[in-house]
Amino acid sequence: MTGAASTPAGTGIPLVSGASGQGGHFAEFCANPALFLSRAYRENGEICQFDLNGLRNILLVSAEAHEAVFRAPDELLSAAEAYQMMVPVFGEGVQYGAPPELERQQLKMQARGLRQDRMKLYAAVIAREVQDWLADWEDEGELDIYEAFTRLTLKTSTHCLMGEEFRYTLTEEFADLYHELEASVSPAALRDPDALGEVAARRDRARARLAQLIGERVAQRRASGAQHPDMLQVYMDARYEDGRALSEDEIAGMVIWFMFAGHHTSGNTSSWTAVELARHPGHAAAIAAEVDELYSRNTELSRNALKEIPRLQAFIMEVLRLHPPLVTLTRRALQDFHYRDYVIPAGSNVMASPYVAHRLPQTFPQPDRFDPTRPEPDNVFAFIPFGGGHRKCVGNAFAILQVKAIFCALLRDYAFELVDAPDSYRDYMPSLILRPSEPCRLRYRRRRST
């Protein structure tokens, strides 16, 4: 079917225009989910539906609707059913590949490793990585900031996760294997992760080899009896409520889950933060002054990154408003789900979209304007870069700490300028995570001699 919006019988929910006979809206969605969902909202408002290869998806866009979705119990709206494509990546028996009761306990283990009292440990690790990274910088130069932050956050993630010995023996092999896993998570995998042919076969080989590498590390640690201040140790020491420890394959799955959740989300947010700083020199100068003031009282980066840095934090929040790395937050309705007068049939996907929601003019006046001074919306479900409710991101404090640490170090010594035309830096979605378009070149200059 092609043409204007219509209302399929029985649901009362308008259908997004432009579906093709085969695949429905699949091709347009896969080409760029952010643009497709924006169009769907413009055309239909708070609720609409679209078809991904025969799977009904309902997009809900408003603070009230997000609250209804995020507060719904898993037995009604299931994240596990919606994200089954992650099961071969993290492994059977981990997160959405585990029974809900085990998954709940595993999530608590992840949260335990990310508790506020551990942030000091991670701040020191991240500070060391950032300082090592900056040691090679000249007084001025040009770099692809997306590539640079992708590499840096791979190092910080593996360092906090797997510890010092692993990080400093980090091989190309580990990065390549992790890359193979990432390549299997694309919009096309949403419908059927095994329809990926050779990509899926490479994913499975990479998952098996990663599990072997992580297993070797666990065995070495167990043999030495030493305790380490990292997430791997948290997983090794964790116990389920019945007293059982995580198996080696479960530990590998937890490591991969953490990497997936935290690596690109933080790297892409850092990249967009650098681009927006270069686009807005007035705000950048004010934040640099704020950072100078911090350093005038204390020179230690790891301590400064743990402090309130209000202007920098507000800037990062505005980056997350306009460029939220996760564009679609999805659940599968296991029973009919009622929202206002609508009945969303069991079996449908229900989607919230931070990208679309963060551009609502009634909540964010002049939504396309980058304005870090704009007030926070009254309703917490209006601003959802980290999701909401019982599945809200457990790594949000870690993520903010990391981006703050990076810019606290960078802005102390460097200022950024755009290399290309301001409008050429665009949101881009080659995978399910939003990032800046390629190339993403910035020029950096030392602010003062040290």
Q: Which residues bind ligand HEM (CB under 6 A)?
A: 79, 107, 110, 114, 258, 261-262, 265-266, 269, 324-326, 329, 385-387, 391, 393-395, 398-399
Q: How many CB atoms lie within 10 A of CB 137?
A: 14
Q: Which is nearer to ligand HEM, 324 or 436 (CB)?
A: 324
Q: How many CB atoms lie within 10 A of CB 22?
A: 9
Least Cβ distance, residue 269 to ligand HEM (angstroms): 4
Least Cβ distance, residue 374 to ligand HEM (angstroms): 19
Contact criterion met (CB below 8 Å) for 344 and 25? no
Which of 158, 119, 152 is CA-nearest to residue 137?
Answer: 152
Q: Which is nearer to ligand HEM, 321 or 415 (CB)?
A: 321
User: What's the gap between Cα 41 and its chain centre?
Assistant: 23
Residue nearest to ligand HEM (CB): 395
Instruction: Give the C-alpha separation, 71 to 391, whole Å.
Output: 9
Q: Which is nearer to ligand HEM, 88 or 395 (CB)?
A: 395
Least Cβ distance, residue 3 to ligand HEM (angstroms): 32
Contact criterion met (CB below 8 Å) for 402 and 266? yes
Least Cβ distance, residue 295 to ligand HEM (angstroms): 25
Least Cβ distance, residue 405 to ligand HEM (angstroms): 12
Dihedral of the alpha carbons of 142, 321, 108, 328, in degrees to the nearest 10: -100
Q: Which two tokens stand for residue 99?
A: 């029974």
Q: Which is nearer to ligand HEM, 15 or 246 (CB)?
A: 246
Q: Which is nearer to ligand HEM, 266 or 349 (CB)?
A: 266
Residue 359 C-beta-side C-alpha neighbours within 13 Å: 17
Task: Show Cβ contacts of residue 124 under 8 Å, excluding neighbours closer than 6 positions.
Answer: 302
Q: Which is nearer to ligand HEM, 15 or 256 (CB)?
A: 256
Amino acid letter, residue 429: M
Least Cβ distance, residue 386 to ligand HEM (angstroms): 5
Contact criterion met (CB below 8 Å) for 176 and 277? no
Least Cβ distance, residue 110 to ligand HEM (angstroms): 5
Q: How many CB atoms lie within 10 A of CB 450?
A: 6
Using the CB atoms, write b or e for 67-87: b if 16+ within 10 Å.
Answer: bbbbebebebbbbbbbbbbbb
Contact criterion met (CB below 8 Å) for 89 and 184? yes
Instruction: Give the C-alpha separation, 348 to 282, whole Å.
Output: 46
Q: Which is nearer to ligand HEM, 14 or 388 (CB)?
A: 388
Least Cβ distance, residue 437 to ligand HEM (angstroms): 19
Least Cβ distance, residue 5 to ligand HEM (angstroms): 27
Least Cβ distance, residue 445 to ligand HEM (angstroms): 27
- Strand, helix or coil for residue 18: coil
Asked if omega into 439 is within 30° of 0 (cis), the reply is yes
Q: Which is nearer to ligand HEM, 19 or 214 (CB)?
A: 214
Q: Which two tokens stand for residue 249?
A: 């394959």
Q: Which is nearer to ligand HEM, 118 or 203 (CB)?
A: 118
- Strand, helix or coil for residue 444: strand
Q: Which is nearer to ligand HEM, 164 or 420 (CB)?
A: 164
